C-alpha cells in the first residue's frame, strides 16, 4: 500500500531540521522516554503472548495514520497513537478508556491465542554479482519495497540470509525468505545523478526481485 | 489478538486523534494509565526498563567498538565479517546477536545511513536516534541528495570520494565506521573512543579531528 510513509526521494521538504541543536540527550523530554519504554515492553509482551502481533503489522499500523498527521506529529506522539490503536485492536482496552484516561473495568483477557504458522525457507535464487530488477508493483497492505526502487535494476552485493518476509508478516504469517544487499548506481535512480559515481545499497527480500 | 485489519486501525487513529487532548504528554499519560490499570504493564517495570536502557545503550557502545577496531587488526577483521560477534566480544552487556552490520569509510568511499520507510536505527545498541534522523526531510532527501544533506552538516567530501547510501529496510541495522584521524598514533583506546561521535556513526560527519573531538 502506497501511503505517505514511503518518503525516499520525495522532494520539497527543505533543510534537515534540528541539525545544529545539542541533541546529545537520549530523550529530550520525559514523556518521550516513557512512550518508548511502554512501546518496547508492550511489543515484547505481545510477541511472547503469541497474539499474532508482528513488528511489520505494527509498522503498518503507523503507516495507516492519516497522511497529514503522519507528516506533522512528533515521532513519539505517533507511537502513542500507534500503541493505543494496537491495544484496542488486541482487546487490551477500549477506545473510550484512552479518551477518558482511565480503565473502565478490571484485567484484560485476549479472545484466543493464534496458532503460530509454520516457517518455511527457500535457498537463495541469486548470488553476488547477479543483476536483478525490483518488482514494479506490490499488492499487499504492507511492503518494505520502497517506491523509488520499483522497476529499477541493481546488482546483488551480498547474501544476508533468511529473514521474515514483511508483506506476509504484516498479516500474521511468519514466512522466512532470503535477503540480499542490492546495490544501485545513483545514476540509474535519479536524473540529476546522471554523471555521479555514488551508489545506494538496500536490503531486499527474494520475492521483491526478478533476474535482469 | 491482532486483527491485521488495515482499515480498522486507520479508523482508530482518526477517532483517537479527534477525541484525545492535543498535548502529547497528556496522551502518553492516558496510554500509560490505561495499560497499567488493565494489568497489561506495571508502572515499576516501565521505570526499571528505562533505567536499564539509559545505562546500557547509547553511542558509547559503538564508539568503544570502533576505537578497538582502530587499534587491533584482528578485531577489525571480525567487525567486518561478523559485527554482532565483535560487539558481543567487547561489550557483554549488549543484546547477543543483535543484527547489526558495520560499514567502513575508506579514502574513496563515504557511507551514509538512512531509513526511508520508517526510522530504523540500531536503537538496542546505540540508543535513541537524533530528531533529525527521524525527520521527513532526512528520510526523503538522504537517498536522492546525499551531498546536499551532508553539506547541511558541514560535511564536504574531497574530490574522488563517492557516497554510498544505505537505506535500512530489513531487520539488519547499519553503523558507519569512520577512518581513524591522523595524529592519534599515541592515543589510548579510551581517548580514541571519546573522538567517535554519533553523527559519524550515521555518516553525516566524516572527519573526526582530535581538536574537534576533545572540544
In this predicted model, what pLDDT tens digit does every residue of A71-92 receive, in sequence order?
999 999 999 999 999 999 999 9
Q: Across-strand partners of A185?
A: A199
- Count the domains in chain A: 2
ipTM above 0.90, yes or no: yes
Instruction: Using alpha carbons, select from A160, A142, A171 the residue that is nearest to residue A204.
Output: A160
Residue B44: Cβ-neighbour burial (10 angstroms; 0-12, 13-18, 19+): exposed
Q: By the 8 A CB rule, do A89 and A98 touch?
A: no
A126 within some domain: no
Of A84, A100, A116, the domain-final residue: A100
Judge: A114–B140 Cβ closer than 8 Å, yes or no.
no
Q: Is the CB of residue A172 less than 8 Å away from at least one CB of chain B?
A: yes
* pLDDT confidence of residue B214: 45
Range of the domain at A93: 30-100
Least CB-CB distance to A7: which of B35, B136, B146?
Answer: B136
* pLDDT confidence of residue B212: 43
Q: By the 8 A CB rule, do A205 and A179 touch?
A: yes
A45 within some domain: yes
* pLDDT confidence of residue A114: 64
Minimal Cα distance from A146: which residue of B? Answer: B117
A195 within some domain: yes
Judge: A144–B169 Cβ closer than 8 Å, yes or no.
yes
Q: By the 8 A CB rule, do A85 and B12 touch?
A: yes
A24 within some domain: no
A74 within some domain: yes
User: Which pLDDT tens digit goes with each residue over A10-61?
Assistant: 999 999 998 988 888 889 999 999 999 999 999 999 999 889 999 999 999 9
User: Which pLDDT tens digit goes with each residue over A115-125?
Assistant: 666 666 778 89
A113 within some domain: no
CA-based radius of gyration for chain B:
20
Backbone angles phi, psi at A203, to 5 degrees: -90, 135
Distance to chain B for A212, nearest Cα, Å: 21
Q: What is the Cα–Cα distance from B23 to B195, expressed in whole angstroms?
A: 38
Q: What CATH number did the domain enclosing A84 receive?
A: 1.10.472.20
**Whether residue B20 has pLDDT greater than 90:** yes
* pLDDT confidence of residue A21: 82
- CB neighbour burial string for A167-178, b if at least 16 within 10 angstroms, e if fewer: bbbbbbbebbbb
* pLDDT confidence of residue B211: 64
Of A60, A79, A100, the domain-final residue: A100
Q: How far apart are the first and last CA of chain A?
A: 25
Q: What is the dihedral of CA B10, A46, B135, B50, to 10 degrees?
A: 140
Sign of the torsion formed by the C-alpha atoms of A15, A79, A61 and A133: positive
Task: CATH 3.90.330.10 in chain B: give the residue spans.
Answer: 58-214
The verdict on A136 and A178 lying in the same domain is: yes
User: Which pLDDT tens digit goes with each residue over B36-89?
Assistant: 999 999 999 999 999 999 999 999 999 999 999 999 999 999 999 999 999 999
**CB contact set of A142 (below 8 Å; sequence gap of 6+):** A1, A56, A57, A59, A60, A63, A166, A167, A170, A171, B6
Tell me the three state secondary structure of residue B34: helix
User: Which pLDDT tens digit goes with each residue over B121-179?
Assistant: 999 999 999 999 999 999 999 999 999 999 999 999 999 999 999 999 999 999 999 99
* pLDDT confidence of residue B213: 45
The CATH number given to B58-214 is 3.90.330.10
Q: What CATH number did the domain enclosing A205 receive?
A: 2.30.30.50
Judge: B172–A160 Cβ closer than 8 Å, yes or no.
yes
A12 within some domain: no
A122 within some domain: no
Which of the four pLDDT bands, split at 50, 70 and 90, describes residue A165? very high
The verdict on A90 and A158 lying in the same domain is: no
Ramachandran quadrant class, A114 (left: phi over 0; alpha: psi -120 to 50; beta: rest): beta
Minimal Cα distance from B13: which residue of A? Answer: A65
Amino acid at each position: 500500500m502506497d501511503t505517505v510513509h514511503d518518503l525516499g526521494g520525495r522532494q520539497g521538504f527543505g533543510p534537515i531540521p534540528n541539525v545544529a541543536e545539542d541533541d546529545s540527550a537520549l530523550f529530550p523530554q520525559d514523556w518521550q522516554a516513557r512512550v518508548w519504554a511502554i512501546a518496547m515492553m508492550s511489543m515484547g509482551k505481545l510477541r511472547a503472548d503469541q497474539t499474532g502481533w508482528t513488528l511489520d503489522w505494527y509498522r503498518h499500523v503507523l503507516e495507516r495514520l492519516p497522511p497529514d498527521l503522519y507528516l506533522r506529529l512528533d515521532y513519539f506522539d505517533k507511537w502513542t497513537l500507534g500503541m493505543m490503536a494496537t491495544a484496542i485492536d488486541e482487546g487490551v482496552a477500549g477506545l473510550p478508556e484512552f479518551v477518558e484516561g482511565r480503565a473502565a473495568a478490571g484485567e484484560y483477557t485476549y479472545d484466543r491465542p493464534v496458532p503460530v504458522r509454520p516457517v518455511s525457507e527457500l535457498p537463495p535464487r541469486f548470488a553476488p554479482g547477479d543483476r536483478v530488477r525490483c518488482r514494479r508493483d506490490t499488492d499487499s497492505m504492507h511492503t518494505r519495497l520502497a517506491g523509488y526502487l520499483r522497476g529499477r535494476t541493481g546488482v546483488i552485493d551480498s547474501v544476508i540470509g533468511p529473514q521474515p518476509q514483511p508483506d506476509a508478516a504484516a498479516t500474521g504469517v511468519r514466512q522466512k525468505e532470503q535477503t540480499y544487499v542490492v546495490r544501485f548506481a545513483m545514476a540509474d535512480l535519479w536524473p540529476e545523478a546522471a554523471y555521479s559515481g555514488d551508489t545506494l545499497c538496500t536490503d531486499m527480500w527474494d520475492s521483491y526481485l526478478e533476474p535482469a | 489478538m491482532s486483527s491485521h485489519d488495515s482499515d480498522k486501525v486507520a479508523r482508530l487513529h482518526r477517532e483517537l486523534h479527534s477525541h484525545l487532548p492535543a498535548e502529547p504528554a497528556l496522551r502518553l499519560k492516558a496510554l500509560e494509565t490505561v495499560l497499567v490499570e488493565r494489568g497489561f504493564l506495571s508502572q515499576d517495570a516501565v521505570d526499571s526498563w528505562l533505567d536499564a536502557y539509559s545505562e546500557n545503550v547509547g553511542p558509547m557502545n559503538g564508539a568503544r567498538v570502533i576505537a578497538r577496531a582502530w587499534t587491533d587488526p584482528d578485531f577489525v577483521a571480525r567487525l567486518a565479517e561478523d559485527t554482532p560477534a565483535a560487539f558481543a566480544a567487547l561489550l557483554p552487556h549488549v543484546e547477543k546477536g543483535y543484527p547489526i552490520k558495520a560499514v567502513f569509510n575508506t579514502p574513496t568511499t563515504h557511507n551514509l545511513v538512512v531509513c526511508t520507510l520508517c526510522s530504523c536505527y540500531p536503537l538496542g545498541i546505540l540508543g535513541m536516534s537524533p530528531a533529525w534522523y527521524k525527520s521527513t526531510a532526512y528520510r526523503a532527501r538522504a537517498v536522492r541528495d546525499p551531498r546536499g544533506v551532508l553539506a547541511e552538516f558541514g560535511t564536504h567530501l574531497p574530490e574522488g570520494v563517492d557516497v554510498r547510501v544505505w537505506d535500512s529496510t530489513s531487520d539488519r541495522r547499519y553503523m558507519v565506521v569512520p577512518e581513524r584521524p591522523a595524529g592519534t598514533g599515541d592515543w589510548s583506546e579510551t581517548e580514541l573512543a571519546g573522538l567517535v561521535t554519533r553523527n559519524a556513526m550515521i555518516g553525516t560527519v566524516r572527519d573526526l579531528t582530535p581538536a574537534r573531538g576533545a572540544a
